[in-house]
Amino acid sequence: MKRICLFLFAYVLMAVSLLAAPAQAQRISINDIYNNQNQGATPITACGTIDQPGSYVVVRNLTAVPPTGDCLLVAADYVTIDLGGHLLTGIGGGGGVTIRSQVQTDIAVHNGTVTGFQRGIDFQFAEHSTVRHVRATENTRLGIILSNGGTATGNTVSQNGGNGIHCAASCTVSGN
Give yes or no for a contact between 89 and 63, defined as CB atoms under 8 angstroms apart. yes
For residues 122 and 96, what is the distance between their CA atoms, to the nearest angstrom?
A: 8
Does the model's pTM come out above 0.85?
Answer: no
Please give the chain's pLDDT, 176 residues, in tens. 444 444 444 444 444 343 443 333 333 333 444 444 567 899 999 999 999 999 999 999 999 988 889 999 999 999 999 999 999 999 989 999 999 878 899 999 999 999 999 999 999 989 999 999 999 999 999 999 999 899 999 999 999 999 999 998 789 999 99
